[in-house]
């Protein structure tokens, strides 16, 4: 698994690549948290368009980052998830807590609107 | 002769990826779709992660995998000689986790049940756990000819 970060004004995009599992979960979590805290971003986008497979370790990653963003007064969107990953997000009830969008552009719009209202 | 394969390897998290690759390579002769292959990989990942975290509790141990192809069915058996599960019914409950402080979701068995057609869990505390998963593959050739 690999990851890459991109800053878009007050949003942070974490692009994840490969297979998300328990082995890499700890390192990915720590890196996202570090980037979020250092950047002070008000919105976080977790982009899964480069992810072939995610097991339930990914639920913990998304849920934990959702809590982190809430604690900082921000929000989280998940983008580019394939069908099995979307199924896992729905199964876990995460769909009610985070925005799930097809593209980063859509997520940006949602997060920017949410921030303006807030 | 039975169409099968067996392998065993140490219960280390780095081998989660290895387990997914060997099972999906074996399953690929059934010509699964990309989505079916992702579902098989995810179910295997859940089972192997369970063995590492719960079966051997992060310590040393061996994970045993046996796969079989019967017509269009893939059967995957994953066993350990670890701690075993006291209450299998409770462990299979969605969102149940024995480790609520960590970032574990308690969705492992639910994911296996969702992505595979059948899931059987046999466990004896102090002896180990065996899970058997079965999935029918909708061969892509058939879909094309329909």
Min distance B85 CA to chain A CA atoms (Å): 19
Check if the beta carbon of residue B144 is closer than 8 Å to that of residue B131.
no
CB-based contact A23 B104, cutoff 8 Å: no
Instruction: Say how many CB pairs under 8 Å bridge A and B.
Output: 76
Chain A residues in contact with B20 (beta carbon < 8 A)? 19, 21, 53
Output the pLDDT for position B98. Answer: 81
Say if B98 is an interface residue toward chain A (CB within 8 Å).
Answer: no
Check if the beta carbon of residue A65 is closer than 8 Å to that of residue A47.
no
**Quick one: how far is CA A3 from the chain centroid?**
12
What is the Cβ-side half-sphere exposure of residue A77, based on CA atoms within 13 angstroms? 27
A interface with B, Cβ–Cβ < 8 A, is 19, 21-23, 25, 29, 52-57, 59-61, 63-64, 82-84, 87-88, 91-92
**Integer Cα distance of A62 and A59 in angstroms:** 5
Chain B residues in contact with A59 (beta carbon < 8 A)? 105, 107
CB-based contact A87 B114, cutoff 8 Å: yes
Output the pLDDT for position A66. Answer: 95
Closest CA to A21 of A46, A50, A57, A48: A57
Which parts of chain B register pLDDT below 50? 145-146
Q: What are the percentages of helix, strand and coil residues in chain B, rounded to 5?
A: 40, 30, 35
Domain boundaries, given as residue ranges, for chain B: 3-140
Residues in chain B: 146
Q: Which domain holds residue A7?
A: 2-115
Provide the token pair at B140. Answer: 């892509």
Output the pLDDT for position B146. Answer: 47
Check if the beta carbon of residue A17 is closer than 8 Å to that of residue A49.
no
| Ordered per-residue pLDDT tens for chain A, 118 residues | 899 999 998 999 999 999 999 999 999 999 999 999 999 999 999 999 999 999 999 999 999 999 999 999 999 999 999 999 999 999 999 989 999 999 999 999 999 988 776 5
- What kind and span of H or E run contains B26? helix B15-27
**Integer Cα distance of B80 and B48 in angstroms:** 9
CATH number of B3-140, picked from 3.90.25.10, 3.30.420.40, 3.30.565.10, 3.40.640.10: 3.30.565.10
**Integer Cα distance of B64 and B132 in angstroms:** 12
CB-based contact B103 A63, cutoff 8 Å: yes
Q: Nearest by CB to B17, which of A23, A56, A83?
A: A23
Min distance B93 CA to chain A CA atoms (Å): 12
Instruction: Give the C-alpha distances (Å, rounded to integers) separating B80 from A6, B56, B75, B112.
Output: 42, 8, 17, 17
Domain count, chain A: 1
Report the SS3 class of residue A21.
coil
User: Which CATH number fits the domain that encloses residue A73?
Assistant: 3.30.750.24
Residues of B with a known catalytic role? 46, 50, 104
């Amino acid at each position: 698994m690999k990851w890459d970060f991109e800053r878009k004004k007050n949003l942070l995009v974490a692009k994840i690549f490969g297979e998300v599992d328990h082995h890499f979960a700890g390192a990915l979590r720590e890196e996202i948290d570090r980037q979020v805290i250092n950047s002070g971003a008000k919105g976080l986008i977790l982009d899964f368009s480069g992810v072939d497979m995610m097991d339930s370790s990914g639920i913990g990653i998304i849920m934990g980052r959702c809590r982190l963003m809430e604690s900082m007064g921000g929000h989280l969107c998940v983008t580019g998830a394939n069908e099995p990953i979307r199924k896992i997000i729905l199964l876990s009830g995460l769909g009610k807590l985070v925005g799930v969008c097809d593209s980063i552009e859509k997520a940006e719009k949602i997060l920017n609107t949410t921030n303006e209202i807030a | 002769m039975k169409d099968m394969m067996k392998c065993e390897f140490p219960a280390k998290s780095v081998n989660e990826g290895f387990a997914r690759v060997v099972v999906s390579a074996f399953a690929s002769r059934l010509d699964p779709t990309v989505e079916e292959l992702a579902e098989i990989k995810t179910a295997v990942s859940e089972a192997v992660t369970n063995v590492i975290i719960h079966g051997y509790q992060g310590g040393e141990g061996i994970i045993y995998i046996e796969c079989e192809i019967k017509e269009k069915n893939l059967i995957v058996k994953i066993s350990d000689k670890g701690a075993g599960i006291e209450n299998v019914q409770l462990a299979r409950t969605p969102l149940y986790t024995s480790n609520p402080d960590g970032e574990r979701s308690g969705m492992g068995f639910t994911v296996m049940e969702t992505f595979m057609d059948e899931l059987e869990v046999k466990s004896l505390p102090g002896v180990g756990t065996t899970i058997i998963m079965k999935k029918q593959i909708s061969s892509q050739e058939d879909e094309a000819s329909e």
